[in-house]
Amino acid sequence: MLDSQRPTGILPILRAVEIVPKIVIAGQDLRLQENALDLNLLRNPVDRSGMSWNAIASFGPKALHGLNLAAQDFASRRRPAPAGLAEASTHDLYLAPHCDDICFSLGAFALKRRKGVLLTLFSKSGYVARPQTIAALGDERIAVISSLRQREDLAFAEQAGLRPCFGGLDEALLRGHDPFETAKAQDDARQLDGAVIAAIFAAAAEQPKDRQPWLFCPMAIGGHIDHMVVLKVVLRHYNALRARWRIAFYEDLHYASAWQARATGLARFRHLAVELKPQRSLWPIGAAADKLALVALYPSQFVEPPASIKPFTPAQRIPAPAHEALWSAEQT
């Protein structure tokens, strides 16, 4: 095969080939369950020139991405988290599309830092896990549910030492959208751009005097349209926001607790944020019971109180403690 005919996605597999043997040597049983990629080929990568390009091309982009992601997870497991990310400031800004997103995705991280602002942007909602428990109808129902969910967020903010703010925006369902119709995200991001960016700067009224604080933004894993709007607006205004904050992106839980949803979401994020080249850092949650106690502050979102930490830790193909995850391109 001529060079010009080789698959364009070949660099990721070469990087993965370099890293995967280390995973095997460490005694980890790495498997990609949802595809038939034969890792034996990668366990003997000595003669790369003898590798069949046809075989590589047949893996498909999904398999390549899954393998690359497992390798990055492994690297983040071994690499210490950047020292700068451990610095907490009262000006740190946690961006939550909905009530509960920061608690589910970064609750243990926020609880440890006990500083910053929690900004819940789409704080008008009509969703509860048990709809029959709310008798009100129409506009009154939206008001009752929004108030209920905001009270849950207030309880979490108090517990985690965060100053709560609500953006007052309608969630996707109230705007008449299927929440997972990702094709609508671009239009919505354009229409809501001014409101979202105004809410972000309004929540940060004071000018920080210490080192640049952090802004924590969802990666939109799971493809919820409101999460995608927040991500797209932050990326569109990245330079203006970066002048004030250091920026890190968090893996959205519970969505990231399913491997395929996580792999798909991270691939989409990488495509949207292609210039950033962020690195993953892993933040163990400590005692699972402590994070579950935070999650339990949101009873309206569960039919039964969650008993397992599994939906609240990112899915992995390597052994890892229950954790939360941030991706950042910041050097410090």
Chain positions contacting Zn ion, by CB under 5 A: 97-98, 101
Kindly tell me which of 73 and 100 has the beta carbon lying closer to Zn ion: 100
Instruction: Compute CA 36 distance to the chain's CA centroid, rounded to the nearest angstrom.
Output: 27
Q: Which residue is nearest to Zn ion (CB)?
A: 98
Kindly tell me which of 53 and 302 has the beta carbon lying closer to Zn ion: 302
Q: How far is the CB of 285 from Zn ion (least distance, A)?
A: 19
Smallest CA-to-CA distance from 300 within 164, 94, 155 is with 155
Kindly tell me which of 66 and 97 has the beta carbon lying closer to Zn ion: 97
Give whole-number Cα distances, 9 to 13, 61, 68, 139, 275, in Å. Answer: 8, 7, 12, 50, 17
Give whole-number Cα distances, 6 to 18, 19, 65, 66, 128, in Å. Answer: 19, 22, 17, 20, 50
What is the C-alpha separation between 222 and 202, in angstroms, rounded?
Answer: 28
Q: How far is the CB of 262 from Zn ion (least distance, A)?
A: 15
Kindly tell me which of 42 and 157 has the beta carbon lying closer to Zn ion: 157
Q: How far is the CB of 225 from Zn ion (least distance, A)?
A: 10
Residues with Cβ < 8 Å from 190, sequence gap 6 or more? none
Q: How far is the CB of 90 from Zn ion (least distance, A)?
A: 25
Question: Dihedrals φ, ψ of 67, to 5°?
Answer: -70, -45
Residue 26 has a CB neighbour count (10 Å cut-off) of 13
Q: How far is the CB of 290 from Zn ion (least distance, A)?
A: 22
Kindly tell me which of 97 and 213 has the beta carbon lying closer to Zn ion: 97
